[in-house]
Amino acid sequence: MVDLLIIMFERVGMIVAVAFLLTRFRFFQNMVHQDLLDRRQELTAILFFGLFGIFGTYFGVALDMQTLHFENMSWQLTTDEAIANSRVIGVVVAGLLGGYRLGIGAGLIAGIHRMSLGGFTAISCGVSTIISGFVAGYFYKKGKHTSPLAAFLIGALAEALQMLLILFIADPFPKALALVQTIGLPMILANGLGTALFMLIAYNVIGDQEKATALQAQKSLRIADQTLGYLRTGMKQETAEAVCKILLNELRPDAVAMTNKTDILAFIGPAGRASGPIQSEITRQVIAQGELVVSDALELDLYHASFGAVVIAPLKTRSETVGTLKLYYPSRQAITDVTIELIAGLAALLSNQLEIAEADRAYQLAKEAEIQALQAQISPHFLFNSMNIIISLIRTNPDEARKLLSSLSYFLRQNLEGTTAKMVTLQQELAHVEAYLMIEEARFIDKLKITIDADPTIMREKIPPLTLQPIVENAITHGIKDLATNALVHISIKDSGQAIEITVKDNGKGITSERLPLVGNEQVVSEKGTGLGLFNVNRRLIMSFDTGIEIESAPDEGTTISFHIPKSEVMNDE
């Protein structure tokens, strides 16, 4: 019995090799992770573990019950022979990892094969192999791993059931009893241990692979986080150098370089920094084809250092290669598959960051273009009315006509300048409004009274051009126009602490409750206008400061329109 136990433990060595081999197969990795196998993977697993059971049979030893001698297995058994084997391990592992279908499927393959070999235990051993798959499937727990101790007990239980079936089924009984007494305990212990070892090795190897993958993913995310602030500004020499330093520190290659389509933007390595036109044919090839290349050739470009191997990954935006990322190593052997995978992933991450930077720039340009288009819109009615007033005053009051013409000229000039300027001071914006109001007061003569309350200490703060004038124009055109007397418009610009509050208030006819939610948020067409003025102002304020206008109004009670703009940093420091 001791000799057989030693032999069985020696056979367990093959379990270790098979377990390592299995960790490379996708279906086995899915089984360990308790993922659902597709039909093809399931059939592959059943076939593999069934063959593993057959393999365990042939690696067993034949016991001659007449002489009680052990011999190597042959293709067939005599009626006096039985097998001490590790067949049950493959079947039990299949059931523990995949459930009933895999356990019974593998058991059928290994069990039917065992029956075909003959011997007086053929039926009992074949049937017990199928039952072992069923028993192991019973202990399968989806989403949970089987502990090595549990695997040992289940493997030992399956082998013990086989011994019981030999006693009940094999004939003659005395020979069956002698067989069980000889091989029972060694096989129960060896197969229990083999099952536990198989599960332990599988879990540990795949667990180590997961840890390595997790570390690589963590490193990739850390690099992405560090480089994000640089690449969001685009591919420039300064940002490329910063990114190369980060990659050199995190990945530990010999050197790192980054190029655009024509030039080396940065090189960080033993030869120091370098820049200039691309001289490497391999780099040009990557730019042209857009595919990662691992080369044994020396990559010199402008550098005075020699490198044994280089990984060159394309950097792309919108599927077009815009540059390369190059990592240098002492030899090709220093570049593992994991390294290549990591570099490819990093190149994809950096490419995504470049795409985001390009999208941000495009969005900013579009936003600025839209703001300029909104600023360029001037009411044609105001122009016609202003010209008519000036024409009527040329004969009756030439001095007043000259003043109004000067105000109109200033107003138009400020409108044109507003289409190119991103920001103007509050003082400039208020002067623009005053030029407009001078013309309007001439129209309304004594009917309109304008009051302005502006804090002089904040007049150098910035505001988008053509923001205040359309609000004032709206108050006059739609608010107080129909008043016969005592039309009032009050403009307030004051410091409210963290921001600057600007308010335009009139005592006009107000806005109905139905139209109030629409004003500024939609283009509300009326008999007197298009409703575009307040809508444009609100859009520009939101695009510039993420905050729009606030409107308070009621019929015959006037309208108050206000908004806030942030203070400059200098103002806040003061």
DSSP codes joined into one string, 18-49: HHHHHTTSHHHHHHHTTPPP-HHHHHHHHHHH
Which residues are CB-contacts of 183 (< 8 A; sequence separation ≥ 6)?
4, 63, 82, 84
- How much is the average pLDDT of 241-263? 86
Nearest-angstrom CA–CA distance, 12 and 90: 12
Confidence band for 260, pLDDT divided at 50, 70 and 90: confident
Helix (H) or strand (E) holding 546: none
Q: What is the pLDDT of residue 218?
A: 67
Beta bridge partners of 123: none
Q: Inform me whether the pLDDT recorded for 501 exceeds 90.
A: yes
- How much is the average pLDDT of 320-339? 84
- How much is the average pLDDT of 159-174? 90
Nearest-angstrom CA–CA distance, 468 and 65: 108
Q: Is residue 450 part of a domain?
A: yes
Nearest-angstrom CA–CA distance, 521 and 47: 68
Q: Inform me whether the pLDDT recorded for 456 exceeds 80.
A: yes
Same domain for 291 and 416?
no
Distances (CA, A) of 67 to 42, 182, 294, 518: 43, 12, 64, 103
For the domain that residue 480 is a member of, what is the CATH number? 3.30.565.10
DSSP code of residue 529? B
Q: Inform me whether the pLDDT recorded for 523 exceeds 70.
A: no
Tokens of 27: 């279906």
For the domain that residue 347 is a member of, what is the CATH number? 3.30.450.40
To the nearest whole percent, how much of the chain has pLDDT over 70?
75
Strand extents, DSSP E, 318-417: 320-329
Nearest-angstrom CA–CA distance, 388 and 366: 37
Q: Inform me whether the pLDDT recorded for 144 exceeds 50.
A: yes
Same domain for 381 and 343?
no
Nearest-angstrom CA–CA distance, 30 and 7: 33
**Residue with token string 């400020």:** 414
To the nearest whole percent, how much of the chain has pLDDT over 90?
14
Q: What is the pLDDT of residue 335?
A: 83
Same domain for 174 and 277?
no
Q: Is residue 224 part of a domain?
A: no
Provide the domain limits for residue 123: 2-210
Same domain for 242 and 195?
no
500 near 454, Cβ under 8 Å?
A: no
Q: Is residue 118 part of a domain?
A: yes
Same domain for 283 and 410?
no
Same domain for 336 and 444?
no
Number of domains into which the chain is organized: 3
What is the CA angle 116-118-121, rounded to 5? 115
457 near 515, Cβ under 8 Å?
A: no
Q: Is residue 285 part of a domain?
A: yes
Q: Is residue 227 part of a domain?
A: no
Confidence band for 128, pLDDT divided at 50, 70 and 90: very high
pLDDT digits (tens, 9 = 90+) for 4-38: 666 666 666 676 677 667 766 766 666 666 556 77
Q: Inform me whether the pLDDT recorded for 228 exceeds 90.
A: no
Confidence band for 500, pLDDT divided at 50, 70 and 90: very high
Would you tell me how many other CB atoms lie within 10 Å of the CB of residue 116? 11
Same domain for 352 and 426?
no
Q: Inform me whether the pLDDT recorded for 39 exceeds 90.
A: no
Same domain for 357 and 383?
no
Residue after which a domain boundary falls, among 363, 391, 421: 363
| Mean of pLDDT over the chain | 79
Please name which of 169, 162, 181, 197 lies closest in space to residue 87, comparing C-alpha atoms. Answer: 162
Would you tell me how many other CB atoms lie within 10 Å of the CB of residue 284? 15
Please name which of 90, 106, 120 lies closest in space to residue 15, comparing C-alpha atoms. Answer: 90
Q: What is the pLDDT of residue 142?
A: 67
Q: What is the pLDDT of residue 570?
A: 47
Higher pLDDT, 241 or 218: 241
Would you tell me how many other CB atoms lie within 10 Å of the CB of residue 254? 18
Report helix angle 398-418 to 380-396, nearest 10: 160
Q: Is residue 30 part of a domain?
A: yes
- Region for residue 466 given its phi and psi (left: phi exceeds 0; alpha: psi -120 to 50; beta: otherwise): left
Q: Is residue 522 part of a domain?
A: yes
Higher pLDDT, 88 or 20: 88
Q: Inform me whether the pLDDT recorded for 354 exceeds 80.
A: no
Nearest-angstrom CA–CA distance, 426 and 455: 10
Nearest-angstrom CA–CA distance, 74 and 60: 10
Same domain for 140 and 204?
yes
Q: Is residue 96 part of a domain?
A: yes
Q: What is the pLDDT of residue 268?
A: 84
Q: Inform me whether the pLDDT recorded for 377 exceeds 70.
A: no
Confidence band for 297, pLDDT divided at 50, 70 and 90: low
Same domain for 121 and 193?
yes
Q: Inform me whether the pLDDT recorded for 153 exceeds 90.
A: yes
Higher pLDDT, 144 or 290: 290
The winner for highest mean pLDDT among 73-77, 311-315, 523-527 is 311-315
Distances (CA, A) of 129 to 72, 133, 182, 319: 21, 7, 19, 56
Higher pLDDT, 78 or 513: 513
Confidence band for 519, pLDDT divided at 50, 70 and 90: confident
Confidence band for 363, pLDDT divided at 50, 70 and 90: low
Which residues are CB-contacts of 197 (< 8 A; sequence separation ≥ 6)?
12, 15, 16, 19, 148
Same domain for 306 and 440?
no
Same domain for 349 and 380?
no
Beta bridge partners of 452: 491
Q: What is the pLDDT of residue 478?
A: 81
Would you tell me how many other CB atoms lie within 10 Å of the CB of residue 11? 20
Higher pLDDT, 375 or 392: 392
Higher pLDDT, 8 or 44: 44
- How much is the average pLDDT of 235-249? 84
For the domain that residue 43 is a member of, what is the CATH number? 1.10.1760.20
Higher pLDDT, 47 or 403: 47
In DSSP notation, 456-510 reads GGGTTSEE-TTSHHHHHHHIIIIIITT-SS-EEEEEEEEE-SSEEEEEEEE-S--
Nearest-angstrom CA–CA distance, 517 and 535: 12
